[in-house]
Structure 1
Amino acid sequence: MPEDIEALVRDLSARDRTVRDAATNALVALGPTVVDHLLPHAIDRRTRNPRIDVRSIITRLGDGVLPRLREIRREGPGRLRAGALTLLVDLGGGDALDEADLRAVERLVRIKLVDERPVETPSEAGRWLAFPADRLDDAVTALGLHDVRPTTNIMGVAAATQATDALDFQDAQGATHRAYRVFITPEFENWRAEGPTKNWRMLWGNSFLDELDGFLLARELSEHCGEAHFYVLDPYNASENWYVARNGHMVRSYGTYADPQFEGEPLPFEAVQREIADDDEAEAFAEGVPDAFTAADNLSVHPGPQLAEDTHGHGWLATTHPDVPNTRFKGALPL
């Protein structure tokens, strides 16, 4: 039987698609017994034939492979243990790990937090909220966050912008709900920010901000934190937005495709930017600042690399429902 399985694995790289499809279906039909033969290929980092997609086969095998992967984690072989851990989280989230592995991951996160400097957030595109750093507890309350736990910056960014950050689930009564995962950054100090607040945090979460309306969330957040901002950088649609809310009300906003583009009275930094604008920028800055990155740099904190001396504390992962902890979200995250 092992020889037959190895032959099927070799057939996955055949030139003939019919042979590849037949091998794939045969391996899936054999069930969890094939995972030991597939796992070495799933974790091989070397360049290999792209037609060998063993991860998709393991995914098709579903929860049936979880017991064997956990057994490999406990008993080996050693060369497969790291790959088994990654696949366990990919297939079942943290809930698929046993207590020893969960403690090991949490311990590794704590170790990484000690010297994770410098850090950065996506600067080419994205959407994020900003709020005063010392109002973290108020932000957690305002947004209804749960299972707030320390995380590295690289792990948090991946969780909120690349991995699965929303899932549907049923409560005890059978009603369907949607939970989201978000990342709150460390404190970032910005001496250029208008007003007395110089330390800010950002909140990232693509699905959360898209589906629950980042503008509304900024207003709700400002009710509890005094001030909150929402920013959007969307190069695909050549669009930018920046939105400032204070005490539950919008005070200033800009949107590339909004009508009108500007709302509210200009803020002090906009007058400064207009004064220093060159001839080519003068017309664009006549009504205000149409640039989310510039607005963020002057109002709170802009995304991208952050200086180590301006970064304080660590980030946090959180979810939006008490019945859905972070371990329910599938997908291995970098540490």
Structure 2
Amino acid sequence: MPDSINALVRDLSDDDRSVWKAAEDRLVALGAQVVDHLLPHVGEEGSSRLRRSAESVLRRLGDTALPRLREIRRQGPGRLRSNALKVLVDLGGTENLDEGDRSAVERLVRIKILNELPVEVPSEAGRWLAFPANRLDDAVAALGLHDVRPVTTVMGVAAATQATDSLEFQDAQGTTHRAYRVFITPEFENPYTEGDHKRWRMLWGNSFLDELDGFELAKELSGRCGEAHFYVLDPYNASENWYVALDGHTRRSYSTYAYPQFEGEPMPFEAWYMENADEDEAEAYAEGVPDASKAAENLSVEPGRQLAEDTYGHGWLATTHPDVPNSRFKGVLPI
């Protein structure tokens, strides 16, 4: 049997779709006995046909593969232990790890946090909330967050923007709910912001902000924290939004496709742009500042690479339901 499994694994790299697809189907049918043969290829660099197919087969095996993966983590062979860890988390989250592995991951996170400077958050596209850094506890309470745990920024950004960031689950009564995972950044200082707050945190979570309405979340957050913002950079739709709420009420907003585009009176930083716009910029800034990045730069903190000297503390990963901890979310996160 091992020889026939090895032959099927070789077929996974075939250029003919019918060949590698048939090999995938046959390997899935063989069950957990193929796990050892596939694991060596999971960690390969690049996007090779063999790596993609090996990962596809393991995902399709799902729970069937978990006992063998755990056995490899405990007993070896040693050359497969690292990839077995990755696949375990990818298939079912860190709740599938034994206590020793979970402790090792948490220990590594604590070590990495100490030296993770400078940090970077997405700057080309995304959606995020911003709130005063010293109101973290209020933000957690206002948004109903749970299982708040320290993470590196690399880990948090991947969790909230690339990996699975929402999942459906059933409560004890059988009712279906959806839980979300979000990332709260370290504190970022911006001495040029308007108002009294010079340090800000950002909250990232694409599904959370999309499905629960980032504008309403910012308004709720401001009711507890005094002030909160919501920003959207959407180059795919050539759209930008920025929104400022104070004490639970809208202060100012801009949206590319809204009518009218601006709501509320211009803020002080906008007045500068409106007064100092050159001939080419006059029309763009006639009513205010339409750029979300410029608004963030002046009001809280602009995404992108953050200076080490302006970064304080570490980030936090959290979920939106007490019955769904971070360990339930699938996907390997870089640390």
Tell whether the structures are fold-level matches, with TM greater than 0.5.
yes
2:110 equivalent in structure 1: 110
- The answer for the alignment partner of 1:304 in structure 2 is 304
**Structure 1 residue 146 corresponds to structure 2 residue 146:** yes
TM score, norm. by length of structure 2: 0.98
State the match for 2:124 in structure 1. Answer: 124
Partner of 1:53, secondary structure, is helix
Distance 1:185 1:47, change over 3 A: closer
For residues 174-207 of structure 1, the C-alpha deviation after alignment (integer angstroms, 9 at most, x for no partner) is: 0000000000000000011001110000000000
Deviations 1:54-89 (A, max 9, x none): 110111111011111111111111111110010000
Amino acid at match of 1:256: T
Structure-to-structure mapping, 1:1-335, within 5 angstroms: 1-45=1-45, 48-49=48-49, 53-335=53-335
Q: Which runs of 4+ in 1 moved over 6 A?
A: none
- Is the CA contact (8 Å cut-off) linking 2:221 and 2:227 kept in structure 1? yes
> Using the alignment, how far apart are the partners of 1:57 and 1:124 within structure 2?
34
State whether residues 241 and 256 of structure 2, in contact with CA within 8 Å, keep that contact through their aligned partners in structure 1.
Answer: yes
What is the rounded CA distance, in whole Å, between the counterparts of 1:46 and 1:235 in structure 2? 27
* CA–CA distance in structure 2, aligned partners of residues 13 and 244 of structure 1: 52
Deviations 1:109-156 (A, max 9, x none): 000000100001100000000000000000000000000000000000
C-alpha distance in structure 2 between counterparts of 1:263 and 1:153, whole Å = 33
Deviation at 1:50, TM superposition (A): 5.3
Contact 2:12 2:50 in 1 (8 A): no
State the Cα distance separating 1:49 from its structure 2 match.
4.2
Q: CA deviation at 1:161?
A: 0.5
Question: Within 1, Cα distance between the matches of 2:51 and 2:147?
Answer: 40
C-alpha distance in 2, partners of 1:140/1:53? 41
One-letter code aligned to 1:188:
F
**CA–CA separation in structure 2 for the residues paired with 1:87 and 1:305:** 31
Contact preservation (8 Å) 1:13, 1:52: no
Cα separation, 2, equivalents of 1:177 and 1:256: 33
The 1:19/1:206 distance shift into structure 2, 3 A limit, reads same
Q: Given the superposition, is the C-alpha separation of residues 165 and 15 from structure 1 closer, same or farther in structure 2, using an over 3 Å criterion? A: closer
Question: Higher mean Cα deviation, 275-284 or 189-198?
Answer: 275-284
Please provide the CA RMSD for this pair.
Answer: 1.2
Contact 1:167–1:329, Cα closer than 8 Å, also in 2 = yes
The question of whether the paired residues in 2 share the 8 Å contact of 1:241 and 1:256 is answered with yes
Cα deviation digits, residues 290-310 of structure 1 (max 9, x gap): 110000000011100100000
AA at the equivalent of 2:20? R
Q: Cα deviation per residue 1:230-259 (whole Å; 9 max; x = unaligned)? A: 000011111100000000000100011111
- Indicate the SS of the match to 2:318: strand
Kept in 2, the 8 Å contact 1:168–1:179? The answer is yes
CA distance in 1, matches of 2:327, 2:242: 33
Amino acid at match of 1:207: S
> How many angstroms apart in 2 are the aligned matches of 1:6 and 1:188?
52
Instruction: State the Cα distance separating 1:45 from its structure 2 match.
Output: 2.1
Which secondary structure state, in structure 2, belongs to the residue aligned with residue 297 of structure 1? helix
Within 2, Cα distance between the matches of 1:141 and 1:8? 53
What is the TM-score of this pair, normalised by structure 1? 0.98
**Whole-angstrom distance in 2 between the partners of 1:105 and 1:144:** 26
1:275 deviates by 2.5
Q: Secondary structure at the match of 1:128?
A: strand
Say if 1:94 and 1:51 are closer, same or farther in 2 by CA, change over 3 A: closer
Secondary structure at 1:202 match in 2? strand
5+ residue gaps, structure 1, are: none
Are the structure 2 counterparts of residues 122 and 269 from structure 1 closer, same or farther at C-alpha, using a change threshold of 3 Å?
same
Distance 1:59 1:216, change over 3 A: same
SS at match of 1:302: coil
| Secondary structure of residue in 2 paired with 1:240 | strand
Q: Distance in 2 between matches of 1:16 and 1:304?
A: 42
